[in-house]
Structure 1
């Protein structure tokens, strides 16, 4: 890629991440959640959500400091660890999730905008307002990524001022006693969790900018962890603030509660509008880059891989993002979109944690400068899985069916990375662990299975031997084929060939062994070949066709 404008840690990762974290959910749903769930329930929701985001952020940071993370962010990380079929499946899920995130934030903006001007807040007015703002946001992103990043600095200032206005407000709406257990309408905690969770997915906006960063290995860990940590502190502070200073019933039932408690309500409006627009900008910057990266790997049509300008900005991919976001806006229900986004992100984060665990436990070349223990990634994966079940079981089943079908489709296309993936390391680790375990254990008769050394000669010389070895081994045994080549320079080489003894095209790996005499070579191999724990227990060979070799043949059998 030709290098254009490159961004540092603050502008490229931290800013889009923190502005998406402190976005529409914080302003328009956190007060309701605090009123419904109370301090204890709200803190539980915040901590469980951040358990997933922190473990995923640490996993991302670990992988980003080991390998060069190119365009595509999270998609690039997963695909280079778990392979293109899995990476492509989750990359497309993440692309759709980010595209719907744009809808989420703009629906939130539309609700606030219409409410502030006392305009009708029915679904059609939300659709019209959201569509107009989506067009403006898309045009800003279409013109320049740099322009979109610079716009976010102004929005950050507005969010800081709005938070100060809320915290320093002077009002008479304090509760008689702190709201520890909720005073709302009895909405379940899992429903509230599904509404809140998109708030902690904001760091994805920064990670997805990986292809536009000056130094991804430095910027992604620092920017990601900083944004998650500051977001966690802000949400905890707001949870305590609401519980001790604002009546829970007001928070649960009045959408304008923040305006009533703020020192300067206009600053809250500026913060809400700034946060929703910045979150939309962060997501609309991230989603096309993931789609562009999948197209570069030939998962999606090459049309989406084309970039514009020196920075190769993904304008073609931006158009599809626009269409999906518009579809979300036409749905028009913020809580519905929030739950859809939650399912997509939780699925992706689960597999991202799995990727980090796989790399840490199995890859010989995994040497990150920011090392995260494998158990952290495993905890993150399990948390994602459990939360998915509790959040919406039917939605989880639907997501598994859709993503499973997409995975099978990509698997059939036999997409392979030139750089390889982590699965070879996984199998090598499993084989190594299995061999060590077998070596320590004593073999019982019931567990015996054939492990044959077969002296077959050339692949066309004794086809009956290969058929016989296959029949003896069945599904549980194994055999190794050897061809003796008489030579004055003894050495062994591997020769991979294809053999068709019964009309099938099974691959047969034949080890060619150069030796002074065929029988001497057989004797050497019979004595030294094998692995600890799976030593050969059977020798299969044909009768000698040369009667003169009778003595050597009998000696070989005796040895």
Structure 2
């Protein structure tokens, strides 16, 4: 994409973005509530409010600037940025909250506009002998403003910004040129604190925070900018920094020009300080009017973009709200709806109440924007190439700061706002047939990047404790399910499993397509069972070559595969267990622990009993056998199972071996009671096979050890011993494994 972009909408430049933002930043809160802030929290407290507020708005401004320069930003402003980064479903949930904050802001600024007429209301009260409700100013004003915007469009609103901003800066200049209020000598400057029993810091912050949210007002003009990728970053960043500097100066001027009691009690105290007092109500009126213009121009465009994406859960409403008028696609219907909503909140008539509602909705939106920027940095997608870059930790800080401040400002309302967001997400997803799980898509790149980082770390720093990393390859996937489930049980909590289906043949287009289809079937199957294993296919001319390739595969989890699982059914032909003998020998070359599962139609029965048999032939396998039994108990399918440990040793070793086994069970904290440990004294006359079958004939799983030597001596017959037993797992340890 080139840097030059064709103009859209009215083709505005950077100046309207800056003016819309700065005139909203230097708005009603500055005139009406910053004296209150200094009076209640002191100059340093008010300065802290500015700093903390900008700890949210600056990261957000940087995030918007970054995301806006990654792709062409169209109509809808912040909603467009969120939805095209997070997806329409999540973007819609956040976008509706954003729209509500913008629409309610119209009411907030028009209430403040009415407050500018408070001095006149005092005179009217003297003439009429009755109080004047300032809503008689706010309500007609919002209707008149709506009429102008509907009839003349955003072009009139933007041209008015130049006039309004000029008057605003004149009022500020006269304010700074003023002296102290009458009777104040400046000897009690409220540096560290305000009035006694003043409002708490977080309440004051919640009331004042909307003052800093105006920096995104210009973003809503995105669809009417000639070059939004340039104008949005330049306009909002310059407005944010300029606004911060002016607010610090306002706090200093207020604190050194009037006592704390007057600051806290007179919301128009700036008029007492200014060189010409009447300019302050005029400036307040202009600031409120400019902010209201910005909001009533921006909010309908957000609603129009939401409806164009069919986010509103009613098709008729989407058609009505997305309709535009003229070449500039003016959102006339959305403007009327916004005005109606604003009127409702104007009727409430409370600046402080509406300010707290606006603050919460803006916090949600800003936190989402910062989170997007952080996730994009972390995911490191090649398609994310903004020409302006923020820093990942700045965006993360902004997201966390938004969450913390929301909870501090009003815990109940914060939880309600987040619950409202979740409900919106669910409603939008269900109402849109083609909606995808945007949450999964968002974190796909993040998980990929996190996995890459963790795999490298795991390879460099292997774990001290042994855990199973098991690989199973078989061509007999779809005529049995015991092997795959058994692998899932082994790797449910403590390890990692890789299941490979062998596709016999050479790699060619046909076998490749077959392997992709099989892989999808495997993914679907494991997903339905919530199986925590990795599944894939292996194309190879023979099972032996497939096994050789598999044994050399790097571990998917970041640690090397340390165990291979073979399987066969009692119904398989003799060639299958014979092939396992050669495969197990090959695995021994790769120093892999070897497991051979012989499964039956019993399918592990009720999964209540696991019998482990230790003998004098395979003492090296003992720790692995016991550990695998314990690991199986960690799966919910074996929740009610118990382990019975049987051992057969020569008579002279029974006492010593029994003590060793009890110590292993105790020190290893294994779930085996003394009554479930039994040691047999054996000699050449003992029929060991008969002993196993008598003791474990009803066991759901029997675990036996084997060695390479005995397997080579007896061949496949070794794995066919104890034919009356149900399911049997044969174990051979190639590693030295300790139970700690």
1:332-351 superposed matches below 5 A = 332-351=349-368
In structure 2, stretches of 5+ residues that fail to align are 1-5, 587-740
Residue number in structure 1 paired with 2:288: 276
Give the structure-1-normalised TM-score.
0.89
CA distance in 2: counterparts of 1:30 and 1:329, whole angstroms: 22
Residue number in structure 1 paired with 2:18: 14
CA distance in 1: counterparts of 2:154 and 2:441, whole angstroms: 31
Residue number in structure 2 paired with 1:211: 223
CA distance in 1: counterparts of 2:576 and 2:350, whole angstroms: 86
Work out whether residues 125 and 131 of structure 2, in 8 Å CA contact, stay in contact via their aligned partners in 1: no
Residue number in structure 1 paired with 2:706: none
Work out whether residues 466 and 501 of structure 1, in 8 Å CA contact, stay in contact via their aligned partners in 2: no
State the shift of 1:189 in Å.
Answer: 2.1
1:50-65 superposed matches below 5 A = 50-65=54-69
> Which structure's relative contact order is higher, taking Cα pairs within 8 Å and 6+ residues apart?
1
Say if 2:198 is the partner of 1:179: no
Q: 2:551 aligns with which of 516, 526, 531?
A: 526
CA distance in 1: counterparts of 2:167 and 2:359, whole angstroms: 27
Residue number in structure 1 paired with 2:461: 441
State the shift of 1:329 in Å.
Answer: 0.6
Q: 1:428 aligns with which of 442, 448, 462?
A: 448
1:341-490 superposed matches below 5 A = 341-365=358-382, 366-412=384-430, 415-416=435-436, 422-445=442-465, 448-457=467-476, 460-474=478-492, 477-487=496-506
Per-residue CA shift, 1:74-122, capped at 9, x if unaligned?
2233333344443322221111111111111110111222432434599
Q: 1:556 aligns with which of 564, 577, 583?
A: 583
Q: Given the superposition, is the C-alpha separation of residues 558 and 42 from structure 1 closer, same or farther in structure 2, using an over 3 Å criterion?
A: same
Residue number in structure 2 paired with 1:156: 165
Q: Given the superposition, is the C-alpha separation of residues 472 and 86 from structure 1 closer, same or farther in structure 2, using an over 3 Å criterion?
A: same
CA distance in 2: counterparts of 1:218 and 1:539, whole angstroms: 59
CA distance in 1: counterparts of 2:493 and 2:323, whole angstroms: 48
Q: Given the superposition, is the C-alpha separation of residues 58 and 325 from structure 1 closer, same or farther in structure 2, using an over 3 Å criterion?
A: same
CA distance in 2: counterparts of 1:521 and 1:503, whole angstroms: 25
1:21-36 superposed matches below 5 A = 21-36=25-40
Residue number in structure 2 paired with 1:494: 516
State the shift of 1:334 in Å.
Answer: 0.5
Per-residue CA shift, 1:163-182, capped at 9, x if unaligned?
12222235653433133245
State the shift of 1:357 in Å.
Answer: 1.2
Q: Given the superposition, is the C-alpha separation of residues 503 and 72 from structure 1 closer, same or farther in structure 2, using an over 3 Å criterion?
A: closer
Greater shift in the superposed pair: 82-91 or 117-126: 117-126
Per-residue CA shift, 1:7-39, capped at 9, x if unaligned?
11111x111111100111111112222233332
Residue number in structure 2 paired with 1:517: 542
Q: Given the superposition, is the C-alpha separation of residues 330 and 83 from structure 1 closer, same or farther in structure 2, using an over 3 Å criterion?
A: same
State the shift of 1:322 in Å.
Answer: 1.6
CA distance in 2: counterparts of 1:127 and 1:29, whole angstroms: 19
CA distance in 1: counterparts of 2:136 and 2:560, whole angstroms: 69
Q: Given the superposition, is the C-alpha separation of residues 503 and 229 from structure 1 closer, same or farther in structure 2, using an over 3 Å criterion?
A: closer
Per-residue CA shift, 1:107-154, capped at 9, x if unaligned?
011122243243459998233322211111222222311111111111
CA distance in 1: counterparts of 2:105 and 2:56, whole angstroms: 18
Residue number in structure 1 paired with 2:695: none
Q: Which has the larger radius of gyration?
A: 2
CA distance in 2: counterparts of 1:350 and 1:502, whole angstroms: 36
3-state secondary structure, aligned to 1:167: helix
Greater shift in the superposed pair: 282-291 or 149-158: 282-291
3-state secondary structure, aligned to 2:199: coil
Residue number in structure 2 paired with 1:5: 10
CA distance in 1: counterparts of 2:296 and 2:579, whole angstroms: 77
State the shift of 1:67 in Å.
Answer: 2.9
